[in-house]
Amino acid sequence: MKQPIKLKGCIAILAAAGFAAVAHADPDEDQLTVNGEIEMVTEVDAPAHMENLDTIYSGWRFRSDETQAFQMDDFDNPAMIFVEAAAETWDIADGFEGKSCSSCHNDIESMAGVRAVYPKWSETAGEVRTLEHQINDCRENRMGAEKWKYTGGDMAAMVGLISSVSRGLPINVAIDGPAQETWEKGKEIYYTRYGQLELSCANCHEDSYGMMIRADHLSQGQINGFPTYRLKNTKLNSVHARFKGCVRDTRAHTFKPGGPEFIALELYVASRANGLSVEGPSVRN
Amino acid sequence: MASGVKPRVKVPKSAAAGDTITIKTLISHKMESGQRKDDDGNLIPRSIINRFTCEFNGEMVIDVTLEPAISTNPYFQFDALVPEAGEFKFTWYDDDGSVYDTAKKIAVS
């Protein structure tokens, strides 16, 4: 039993040495300003609860200049096509109550600041809720409409719209009080190794950010830019869809998008970005 | 008419006379090529934007023929000379006969 373990250790050290020599891709020094007016904080001291990192960086800083440029102007940002469609949906009545989003929430600008504090403890529900849950709660209970698929296109676009009016504001999710239990569960998931590859979120996004994972840069896995337009699939991607993709890539059975595990993980990962600007909808590889 | 079609353009609000400006345009359109088949094996009919034009004060700036291989949401970026104040008019022609247009004024400072 002893020998194979030793061998495995050797390979790991070799691999690590190889990576350090050739594959560094640290965050660059660029500044993100959107539309020439929204100044984004893409680098800031890590929140007090983080033990292993001193500085947190937005994923934008790990992208090439060309990809970065997409996000600096709303006309060039392909995510805005989806956001504009959601802005129309905002005013369209749906469901048997005959209400639209704007019937209660008025102008979309009234949602400024909302994205920055989610996921958030809901007093009425007695649980931590994501923005997606609140949207579906509105649809089901206030509008009498069909719920949207958690990671579907309509949902991602609406989250993108709500996020877009909070751009530039600092992420500030609460991790104490009633949310603490969920937050700690999320932290445990973050540091648990999953799948045949036995990888935790931290192995890539905390221990190895700034290196290459195959042909792509490893960022710190911050979610301040979600929903994210990815060049690889040309659509808006939600946080839980990204989580699912990551867990799948460890060759594990993934958790369910919208389920309790991913809600806890989203709260924890969001809290790791406390202090960075809301960027969503962002553009990434 | 194809659904979800919406033209967008970005033109500077003002320029110096004789300046060259950059114009960006995008129209959201599915650009169905006519080559694809649906689940039952039937050909999905072609439905694309086949022509795009930009005029400045009635003078043609650019006239583009679009072919079926062009992707969803065609985007054009081009430069134009601004000799005087006026209006850029943008027109997209759909296979189904629909015409979408939008215009932007530009001042000369």
Looking at residue A258, what is its pLDDT? 95
Residue positions of A annotated with a catalytic role: 246
Radius of gyration for chain B, computed over Cα atoms and rounded to the nearest angstrom: 16
What are the CA-CA distances from residue A250 to residues A64, A196, B10, B55 (Å)?
A: 26, 6, 43, 54
User: A239-249 vs A260-271: helix axis angle to the nearest 10?
Assistant: 100
Interface contact B24-A85, CB threshold 8 A: no
Interface contact B8-A75, CB threshold 8 A: yes
Residue to test with chain A: of B8, B23, B71, most A Cβ within 10 A = B8
Which residues in chain A have their CB less than 8 angstroms from residue B6's CB?
84
Among A75, A78, A85, beta carbon nearest to B10: A75
Q: Is B70 helix (H, G, I), strand (E, B) or coil?
A: coil
Residue with the larger pLDDT of the pair A3 and B7: B7
* Residues A42 and A32 sit within 8 Å (Cβ to Cβ): yes
First to last CA, chain B: 40
Q: Which two tokens stand for residue A117?
A: 């504090």
Query: pLDDT tens digits for B67-101?
Result: 999 998 899 999 999 999 999 999 999 999 999 99
Interface contact B73-A76, CB threshold 8 A: no
What is the full per-residue pLDDT of chain A (285 aa) written as tens digits?
444 444 444 444 444 444 444 456 788 888 899 988 899 999 999 999 999 999 999 999 999 999 999 999 999 999 999 999 999 999 999 999 999 999 999 999 999 999 999 999 999 999 999 999 999 999 999 999 999 999 999 999 999 999 999 999 999 999 999 999 999 999 999 999 999 999 999 999 999 999 998 888 899 999 999 999 999 988 999 999 999 999 999 999 999 999 999 999 999 999 999 999 999 899 998
Distance CA B24, CA A40 (A): 24
Among B10, B24, B73, beta carbon nearest to A81: B73
CB of A84 less than 8 A from some CB of B: yes
Interface contact B28-A81, CB threshold 8 A: yes
Interface contact B10-A81, CB threshold 8 A: no
Residue of B nearest to A73 (CA): B10
Which residues in chain A have their CB less than 8 angstroms from residue B26's CB?
75, 81
Closest of A208, A239, A209, A226 to residue A280, by C-alpha: A226
What are the CA-CA distances from residue A114 to residues A61, A109, A146 (Å)?
A: 24, 10, 23
The ipTM estimated for the assembled molecules is 0.74
* Residues B32 and B5 sit within 8 Å (Cβ to Cβ): no
CB of A78 less than 8 A from some CB of B: yes
Spans of all domains in chain B = 6-108
CB of A85 less than 8 A from some CB of B: yes
Which residues in chain B have their CB less than 8 angstroms from residue A76's CB?
24
What are the CA-CA distances from residue B82 to residues B12, B58, B64, B78 (Å)?
A: 11, 13, 20, 13
Which residues in chain B have their CB less than 8 angstroms from residue A84's CB?
6
The four Cα atoms A195, A196, A197, A201 give a dihedral, to 10 degrees, of 0
- B contact residues 14-53, partner A, Cβ 8 Å cutoff: 24, 26, 28
Let me know if domain B6-108 sits in CATH 3.20.20.70.
no
Interface contact A76-B24, CB threshold 8 A: yes
Which residues in chain B have their CB less than 8 angstroms from residue A81's CB?
26, 28, 73
DSSP B46: P
Residue B56 in this model has a pLDDT that exceeds 70: yes
Looking at residue A215, what is its pLDDT? 84
